[in-house]
Every structure is written in C-alpha cells, then in structure tokens.
C-alpha cells in the first residue's frame, strides 16, 4: 500500500459538491487559482467520463462518446479503460468506483486469448495498470494477473537481437512485426522490471533491459536513434531522428529506469542521449526553443516539427535536472496549445502552422506542467494547467464523457475516449491542482501511461 505517498486531501475535495453530469466551469479566470476548486472540477470530470463508460461501454476496452457505443481493440475486451483508470479512481478517493473497477478486473480479466496484441500498448496500459493497482491496494490477484500477462508477453523478446517484435499472440506466444521503433522497444523496462522485482523472477527485468541496451548500442555516432528498425537484422529502416511518436518514451524510460531501479547503465545511457538531443535536435527558432527533426547519421535538419507527443520532453528534462531548458520548452508547448486553443498532433514551429490537426486527448503537455510545478513551485504552471483544462472542457466534452478532435482548427469532434485520457490527462490535471497532493517524485515514478510505481524491493 502506498497511498500514503499521495496523501491527497480527498475529503476536502469531496465536500465541493461536484456531481457527475455537472458541466465544469473551470474556476475563476482571474486572480490566484483556487486549487481545491480546480481539483474538484477535474475530479467531477473524471466521474462524468467514468459514468459514461459504465453506462455505454461497461466491460469493453473503450467508449465512443458520440455514438455511445463500445470499442474493443481485438474483438474481445482486455478491459483497457478499467485497468488504466483504477489508480486514478483510487488517487481521487473515488473508492466505490475503484472497488467496482477492481471487482470487474479480478472477475473478468483473463489473458488466455487467441489475439495478437501490441506488446508496447498492452505493457504500458495493462501491465502498468495492474502493477500500480497492486502496489496501491495490496490485492495479490492483481499481481497474479500481471505475472500471467508478463509471462505471455515474454516471447515477443525472442528475436535474434533481443529487441522485441511489435506483436505477440497471448495464447500461442507467436510473435510478429520485425519492423518496429525505439518507443516500442525501449518503453518496457519500468513495467517488466517492476514485475521482475515484485515476483522475484529476474527474467522479466533482464529481457526488457537487454532490449533497451541493444537499441541504445545501435545509436548513430552522433548518439541518436532513428524512427524505425528491424529487430531481426538490427538495421535501421528510417534514420529520421526526433523526440515524437515512435521514439519519445524510449528517452523517457532511460531516465525513469535510472530513477526507479537505481540502474547505473540507464543513467549513463540517459546522460549520453540527453547530450545528443541538446546538441543535434534542440532548435532555437523565433518562436522559442523546440526539439525538431534531423538525420540520425549526418545531423542535418530535416523538419521543424513538434507536436503533442513531443510535449513529454519538458517534464523529462526537468526530472533530469535541466530546469532551464525544461522551462523554455514548456513555454513553447504552451504557445503551441494557445495557437488554436488546443494543441495539434504536429506543428511546424518555424511557420507556426498546423501540420497534423488531430487532438486525441493527449496528456504529455499536462504531465510536463505538473512536473515543472512540483519541481519549481512556480504558479505559472497552475495557470497553464487551467488553460489546458478550460480548452478540454470547451472543445472535447460531450454528454457521454470526452472525445477526440479530428481538427483543432475547426474543432470538429471524433468519436473515441482513449483510456489514457482517464489514466493520464485527468490524473495529471488533478495532481497539478490538488493542494494537498504530497506525492514525492523522488520515490514514485510514473510509467509512460501515468501509472505510479514505487520501489518497494
Ligand atoms: C499514451 O499511451 C502514452 O502516454 C504513450 O507514451 C504515448 N501515447 C499515449 C498518450 O499520448
């Protein structure tokens, strides 16, 4: 049990009278932010979203809020939303809802299914959610589910290089998808490592670490990784180097694995990689500091693009001790958000023009604001969070939860509430605002899906 490390003032927040279905009007636009009121509003929006999931998609992976229908990733459900949301419910003191989610999970979740899953997505969402749920509640059934899942995912690592295939069949163990990317290879060690420590079975740690090191060893002489790699030959298939989708959380895990496990190899790999990012990707533009795209071998700049996924970097730079760059980059991220009142998937930061206009309810920019606020105490980041929350409520709220935007310029809505909206976006907003949230970032490490993991071994 480690809720003590969160010590969120749930009772005070519960007293704020925020009922599901009550549209939130983000608190006072002027003056110092009323943090307790804002946290209570976020909590009410989580409840609004959870109620919609309960009503229209209970037992399925995700909710489609406009059509009010369920969505399953693989034909049969792996309870993506309940597993991803469990620790958010617990953190916000929504004990009844958490108990219902936990009951559903232990009664209905099973992995003996003839489906080929994406190793990365299932690891960060389900393995991560089960492990944090276990650490918070002490419910051994969650750990047993995690161990069963981890065991079924292990054959993904059986490639000639040790880097995992993209897909693995949960029943047969047959793996496929040799063409993959750094994020899918390098974003597994927090979860597999934690599973290894909690079960006393080092195989989980060892396989995921070997994959991470194998990837790192294939970096270019400039110290950069590309966008696509073949796990059978070890050859790069795309040399585009950036910190966006397909690469992003590889860098995040180098630092976070050093922090959670005290792994000195990860610490060294993070330091080398950070130097390479700052030297080759960082780009001083008229619109501020950004991290763009270069060729991994020559270092030649190939695009001035940055987007919602890249916005994890300020938080990671801050955790790594570089508050200067972190603060400047977060200012750029806020500029990206403010351009249309909500951030696009990809922006050309030199032209300040939207390249890919979708917004799938992503959390990264909020996570960075939360980490920066915790580490600097600067109320500016609360203001930022208030702006993000107001944009979400204005453009993404529906009468059945929250939905994606197809276009941040026109605000045309899509029809999906991804599980990470409840696991991450609302959790980080809540933690940013909650006045008594004393979660200690030196002791708790969030996986890339915002599942808090703690070193108990
Ligand atoms: C989440 O599943 C994780 O944060 C992942 O690292 C990136 N994609 C989504 C959120 O944007």
In sequence order, which residues have a C-beta less than 8 Å from that of residue 200 and are 6 or more positions away?
none
Q: Is 121 labeled as catalytic in the residue annotation?
A: yes
H helix runs in 189-345, sequence order: 189-199, 202-217, 248-261, 264-276, 313-319, 323-340
**pLDDT the model gives residue 256:** 98
Residue among 302, 304, 303, 274 at smallest CA distance from 287: 304
Question: What's the mean pLDDT when you consider all of the chain?
Answer: 94
**pLDDT > 90 in the chain, percent:** 91
Q: Can you state the angle between helices 426-433 and 35-57, rounded to 10 degrees?
A: 160
Distance CA 309, CA 332 (A): 14
Stretch (H or E) spanning 177: none
Q: How confident is the model at residue 11 (pLDDT cuts 50, 70, 90)?
A: very low
191: annotated active-site residue? no
Exposure string over 193-231, b if 16+ CB within 10 A, otherwise e: bbbbbbbeeeebbebbbbbbbbbbebbbeebbbbbbbbb
Angstrom distance (rounded) from CA 448 to CA 194 = 14
Residue 236 Cβ inside 6 Å of ligand 1? The answer reads no
For 186, residues 6+ apart whose C-beta sits below 8 A from its C-beta are 211, 212, 215, 216, 249, 250, 253, 254
* Enclosing H/E stretch for 283: strand 282-285
- From the list 87, 59, 154, the residue with the least C-alpha distance to 449 is 87
Q: Does 420 contact ligand 1 (Cβ within 6 A)?
A: yes
Residues ≥6 apart with Cβ < 8 Å to 322: 274
Lowest mean pLDDT among 17-21, 152-156, 161-165: 17-21
Higher pLDDT, 22 or 13: 22
289's enclosing H/E stretch is strand 288-291
- Residue 393 burial (CB < 10 Å; 0-12/13-18/19+)? middle
Q: Diameter of the chain by CA atoms? A: 59
Atom number of ligand 1 nearest to Cα 249: 6
Cβ contact 117:167 at 8 Å: yes
Report, as an integer, the average pLDDT of 158-172. Answer: 98
| 448 CA from centroid of ligand 1 (Å) | 6
Give the tens place of pLDDT for each residue, 192-220.
999 999 999 999 999 999 999 999 999 99
| Burial class of residue 127, CB neighbours in 10 A (0-12, 13-18, 19+) | buried
What is the b/e burial string over 418-436, where b = at least 16 CB atoms within 10 angstroms of the residue's CB? Answer: bbbbbbbbbbbbbbbbbee
What is the residue with the minimal CA distance to atom 6 of ligand 1?
Answer: 448
For the cut 90, the answer to whether the pLDDT of residue 15 exceeds it is no
- pLDDT tens-digit series, residues 356-385: 999 999 999 999 999 999 999 999 999 999
Q: Is the CB of 123 under 6 A from ligand 1?
A: no
pTM listed for this prediction: 0.95
Q: For ligand 1, is residue 425 a contact (CB within 6 Å)? A: no
Per residue in 56-86, pLDDT (tens digit) is: 999 999 999 999 999 999 999 999 999 999 9
Best residue among 80, 126, 128, 309 to mutate for probing ligand 1's pocket (most ligand atoms within 8 Å of CB) is 309
What Å distances lie between residue 177 and 166, 180, 183, CA to CA? 5, 7, 14
Residue 290, H or E segment: strand 288-291
Tell me which residue of 175, 260, 246, 174 sits closest to 215, measured CA to CA. 246
> To which residue do tokens 């030196």 refer?
442
Of these residues, 54, 97, 147, 248, which one is catalytic? 248
């Amino acid at each position: 049990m480690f809720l003590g490390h969160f010590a969120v003032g749930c009772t005070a927040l519960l007293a704020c009278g925020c009922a599901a279905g009550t549209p939130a009007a983000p608190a006072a636009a002027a003056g110092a932010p009323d943090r307790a009121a804002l946290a209570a509003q976020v909590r009410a929006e989580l409840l609004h979203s959870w109620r919609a999931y309960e009503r229209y998609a209970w037992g399925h992976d995700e909710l489609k809020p406009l059509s009010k229908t369920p969505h399953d990733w693989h034909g049969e459900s792996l309870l993506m939303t309940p597993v991803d949301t469990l620790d958010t419910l617990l953190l916000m003191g929504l004990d009844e809802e958490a108990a219902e989610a936990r009951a559903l999970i232990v009664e209905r979740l099973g992995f003996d299914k003839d489906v080929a899953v994406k190793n990365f997505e299932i690891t960060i969402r389900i393995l991560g959610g089960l492990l944090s749920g276990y650490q918070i509640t002490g419910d051994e059934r969650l750990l047993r589910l995690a161990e069963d899942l981890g065991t079924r995912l292990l054959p993904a690592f059986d490639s000639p290089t040790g880097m995992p295939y993209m897909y693995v069949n949960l029943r047969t163990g047959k793996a496929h998808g040799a063409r993959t990317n750094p994020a899918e290879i390098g974003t597994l060690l927090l979860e597999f490592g934690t599973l290894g420590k909690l079960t006393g079975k080092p195989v989980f740690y060892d396989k995921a670490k070997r994959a991470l090191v194998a990837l790192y060893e294939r970096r270019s002489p400039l110290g950069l990784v590309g966008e696509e790699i073949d796990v059978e030959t070890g050859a790069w298939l795309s040399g585009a180097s950036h910190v966006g989708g397909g690469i992003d959380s590889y860098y995040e895990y180098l630092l976070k694995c050093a922090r959670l496990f005290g792994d000195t190899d990860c610490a060294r790999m993070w330091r080398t990689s950070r130097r390479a990012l700052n030297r080759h990707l960082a780009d001083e533009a008229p619109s501020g500091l950004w991290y763009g795209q270069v060729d991994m071998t020559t270092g030649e700049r190939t695009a001035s693009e940055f987007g919602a996924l890249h916005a994890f970097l300020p938080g990671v730079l801050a955790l790594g001790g570089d508050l200067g760059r972190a603060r400047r980059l977060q200012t750029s991220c806020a500029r990206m958000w403010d351009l249309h009142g909500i951030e696009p998937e990809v922006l050309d930061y030199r032209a300040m023009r939207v390249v890919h206009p979708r917004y799938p309810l992503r959390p990264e920019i909020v996570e960075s604001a939360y980490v920066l606020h915790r580490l600097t105490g600067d109320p500016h980041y609360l203001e930022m969070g208030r702006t993000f929350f107001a944009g979400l409520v204005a453009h993404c709220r529906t009468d059945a939860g929250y939905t994606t935007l197809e276009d941040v310029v026109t605000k045309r809505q899509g029809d999906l509430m991804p599980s990470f909206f409840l696991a991450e976006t609302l959790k980080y907003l809540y933690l940013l605002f909650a006045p008594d949230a004393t979660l200690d970032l030196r002791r708790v490490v969030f996986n890339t899906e915002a599942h808090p993991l703690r070193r108990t071994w």
